[in-house]
Amino acid sequence: MAAFFLARKGSGIDIDAAKRVFAKRSLGALNVFEVGGFELLLYKKRLVDTENFFQTEQGRVFAVGTFAYKGNSYAESLKIALEDFLSGSLDTDEFSGNFVLIFYINGALTLLCDAMNMTHIFSDRERSFMTTSFLAAAAVKKHSVNKTAVYEKLLYGYLTAPDTLSNEIVRLCRKEKRFDGVEFVKNDYKYSPRTSSASREEMVREQCTQIENYFESVKALCTEYGAEQGLSGGYDSRLIYAAACKALGNLTSAHTHNTKDVHNREMALAENIAKVHDTALRKIPTKYITDYEPQEIDEILRTNVYYFDGRNSENIGVFSATHTPWYKEQTTGDARLTFSGVGGEIYRNFYHTSAKTINFKKWLKAHVYTIRAPYLFDKETFETIQSSIIAKMENEFGIKLSGRTDRFAAKLYFAQNRIPNALACVASANNTQSFYLAPFTESALVDKAYDMYRFAGLYGEFEGEMIKTLDAEVIKCPSSYGYDMTRMPLMQKIKWGLRSILPSDVYIYKAAHDKANEKEVRKLQKLLAKSAYFSKAYEYFKNEFPNINTAYFEAGNVEINNTVFTVCTLYEMSTNFQG
């Protein structure tokens, strides 16, 4: 359930190095299997004592991640999936979740990945092994740092497949799924253009029906293991809460962050929402990372790296005690399945793009890349990185992104790049501990959400109408935005309307000429003063990457969280893995 490592026999890789990485990732019990010419390491989730394999005389199936098949709970889903695979009647449309299934029948291995490829698989270029852990992949044989990938990671917080931070390791995305001795079931989602004649009201209902169908498909899983979710004052967690309570009656519990002097307002908003259905709300106290003792800071930073497997999602997974296994255990309480609202931006015009056509290169620089991060590099290096990113997107989307393109490319970017490359890292981390479902990242909901794009407007009112349709009381609770989620105030509409018509060049100019963020300067200075671990990591980074403008970073010109995570990951790889 938590992870697998499949090694070709006689390949000479250091499989014990992989086991050492998995030990640092706080996984559950290990089972080892001989499957044909391979050795399979299969790890359970730390908090779920359920077998993640099923076998009969005819064959075996092994599972990583979280899934339900044909509306069944976990063990039954494993059993029926194997039976259907054996009979040739496996229906990939009947799966919900983010997962990899490995079928072993008559000496042959076959892999099935979820349609969005949310469970990442890594391999060396020689295809001597594959695994769901990047750090384990990088640890088992000699590797060198992929500097272009480092630049990409610093630029926008994650990596687009197939690249990784190691030159020798690739992620097996859609066009890289080839491995001698293993077949892959063709199940990759790809958007097919279409039109819909539904009215706005009809479209709200259609989207809600799709969500209701999803929750029905995982109801048995929730009933057996108990479900919880994170709550805030925003749209996406509220939409999950409305849908979950309607489908399940209530949740086992919910949680909200309780970091001193950081989450006070959001916690109060979450309390109001939880009261609607009298849901128990867990509020585990934490501190801002630099307020911990030096040794605690070191441990949190190191734990962040291993818990998120060297693969954070922009600011998610970094620089916080909330991204640790112990925090996950305390917030889930008695529940063993967590719902997440990540990806809910599919129901909004997240980047407030109003122009019918956009210059995609400039749009990325203005709205997607970490603020001012392009200026960490010289112009030539930045252009090289950006060309690489766009080439990978063109390959994935199947369209040209040079020059001006339809603004629908912004929707494609979020749904087909950010979800499977960035938000998938959140799923990977949380799946090591217990079951985890992020409905808005799944292909059925992502695909249906394309139909509502013409109603998205510039605000979140459409998603607000969805929440109201599902739960008329939940939508009434105060929001993070200070206004009714279904009716934005006129002045706020004018503000966002004006912002939406500004050319990308204005945003780019503003980012280049804004004053440095003094808060970021203080964060970095305090971190360097208190954390011996990060001080060593940062010195390594500066020596290894002299062409990166670290002085610009130190002056508070770039938000530090993603950079800190990347620096710590590279340092761990340099000191603990074969270089």
Q: How many CA atoms lie within 13 A of 569 on its CB side?
A: 32
d(CA 69, CA 74): 8
Structure tokens at 12: 């000479």
* Nearest one of 345, 305, 298 to 323, comparing CA atoms: 305
CA distance 174 to 114: 11
Q: What φ, ψ does residue 345 adopt, rounded to 5°?
A: -60, -15
Element (H, E) at 152: helix 147-156
Q: How confident is the model at residue 420 (pLDDT cuts 50, 70, 90)?
A: very high
- Give the integer Cα–Cα distance in Å for 40 and 5: 6
Which contiguous run of DSSP H or E holds residue 379?
helix 379-397
- Which pLDDT value is given to residue 579? 55
What's the residue count for the chain? 579
> What per-residue confidence (pLDDT) applies to 280?
98
- Verify cis geometry, omega within 30 degrees of 0, for the bond prior to 162: yes
Closest CA to 210 of 73, 86, 114, 347: 347
Q: Out of 19-33, 253-267, 328-342, 352-366, which region has the weakest mean confidence (pLDDT)?
A: 352-366
Cα dist from 346 to 207, 279, 341, 410, 456, whole Å: 11, 27, 11, 11, 9
Terminal alpha carbon distance of the chain? 30
Q: In Å, how far are 145, 239, 306, 430 from 282, measured between CA atoms?
A: 41, 19, 25, 17
Instruction: List b or e across 67-83, with b for residues whose CB sees 16 or more CB atoms inside 10 angstroms.
Output: bbbebbbbebbbbbbbb
Interval 85-104 mean pLDDT: 97
Give the residue-averaged pLDDT of 20-37: 95
* pLDDT, tens only, 370-408: 878 888 999 999 999 999 999 999 988 888 998 899 888
User: Among all chains, which residue has been given the structure tokens 């063993």?
Assistant: 336
DSSP secondary structure string, 151-207? HHHHHHSS--TT--SBTTEEE--GGG--BTTEEE---------------HHHHHHHH
Asked if the model's pLDDT at residue 455 lies above 60, the reply is yes
d(CA 65, CA 257): 24
Q: pLDDT at position 500, please?
A: 78
What are the angstrom distances between the C-alpha of 53 and each of 40, 100, 226? 12, 12, 21
pLDDT, tens only, 193-243: 888 999 999 999 999 999 999 999 999 999 999 999 999 999 999 999 999
Q: In the prediction, which pLDDT does 564 show?
A: 94
Angle at 346 between CA 282 and CA 424, to 5 degrees: 65
Q: Which helix (H) or strand (E) holds 203?
A: helix 200-217
Element (H, E) at 368: none
Strands across the sheet containing 38-43: 30-35, 38-43, 3-8, 129-131, 122-124, 169-171
Q: Which two tokens stand for residue 103?
A: 């079928």
- The structure tokens listed for 451 are 């139909």
In the DSSP assignment, the letter for residue 457 is T
Report the DSSP pairing between strands 182-184 and 108-113. parallel
Is the pLDDT confidence value at 492 over 60? yes
What lies within 8 Å, CB to CB, of 508 at 6+ separation is: 362, 365, 366
343: region left, alpha or beta (phi > 0 left; psi from -120 to 50 alpha): left
Q: What is the pLDDT of residues 460-470, one digit of tens each?
A: 899 999 999 99
Say what the pLDDT of residue 517 is. 82
CA distance 494 to 500: 10
pTM: 0.95
User: What one-character-per-residue DSSP string does 409-420 give?
Assistant: HHHHHIIIIIII
Least confident of 140-149, 168-177, 279-288: 168-177
Which whole-number Å values give the CA distances from 396 to 129, 229, 401, 413, in the listed order?
A: 25, 32, 11, 10
Structure tokens at 161: 């497949």
Q: Which residues pair with 5 in a beta bridge?
A: 41, 131
Q: CB neighbours of 375 closer than 8 A, spacing ≥ 6? A: 512, 549, 552, 557, 558
Cα Rg, the chain, nearest whole Å: 23
Q: Of 7, 31, 9, which is closest to residue 18 (Cα–Cα)? A: 7
Out of 277-286, 443-452, 482-491, pick the least confident. 482-491
Provide long-range contacts, Cβ within 8 A and 24+ apart, for 31-35: 33/60, 33/62, 35/6, 35/60, 35/102, 35/104, 35/109
| Average pLDDT, integer, range 20-25 | 96
Query: How far apart are the C-alpha atoms of 410 and 345, rounded to whole Å?
Result: 12
**pLDDT > 70: percent of the chain:** 100
DSSP string, 264-290: HHHHHHHHHHHHHTT--EE--EE--GG
pLDDT tier at 92, thresholds 50, 70, 90: very high
CB 40 within 8 A of CB 9: no
Instruction: Report residue 475 CA to chain centroid gap.
Output: 26
Average pLDDT over the chain reads 93
